[in-house]
Amino acid sequence: MIERIRSHWWLFLIRGILALLFGLAVLLYPGAGLVAIAWIFAIYAFVDGIVALATAIRMNHADGSWGWLLLEGILGIIAGIFAAVYPFAAAFALAWLLGAWAIITGILAIASAFSARVHIPNEWLWVLSGVVSLIFGIAIFWSPAFGLFALIWMVAFYAILAGVLLIGLSFRLRPTAPPPTPAATA
């Protein structure tokens, strides 16, 4: 098994170089990373909208209210088209959604900690986690680019670190001397 892996050491080298180049490209061109996030969301929202629309149309014959699902499908398609046409606006909308989520979960964590403080010792850690979430959400609303670029930087640093590690692995796997021939060992 190890010999098979060693004979393909150069594949790890290629993967490492690609990851390293990707990470550096995201650091050098963070706007392109934001556009990529927006496009992924656009594709998801559009396809999800089509599926919701198809589900609503198929449910037309069943009992129950399917109008909300129809509306959800239409709005999903519109959101997908909007994100594809205006990717930077969509990226900032996602940042605001992330900020709102962080604020709401922070408030709920603080409230939960205070209500559970008679049962849980050291609930200040729970309160502190809520405060961190609240501060993060406020920072994103203060500067939506902060949240987006934090995400971009995390992806970039991950890719760079993974690339360097894969390159290091490839050199450890690379044979240093040619394998002995069967005649030489006899």
Q: Tokens 């088209």 map to which residue?
A: 81
* pLDDT number for residue 20: 93
Q: What is the per-residue pLDDT across 42-53, written as a single tens digit (0 to 9) for each?
A: 898 899 889 888
Would you say 147 and 95 are in contact if contact means Cβ atoms under 8 Å apart? yes
Q: If you average pLDDT over residues 152-165, what whole number do you get?
A: 88
Query: Domain residue spans in the chain?
Result: 2-173
* pLDDT number for residue 63: 58
Stretch (H or E) spanning 138: helix 124-142
Other C-beta atoms lying within 10 Å of the C-beta of residue 153: 15
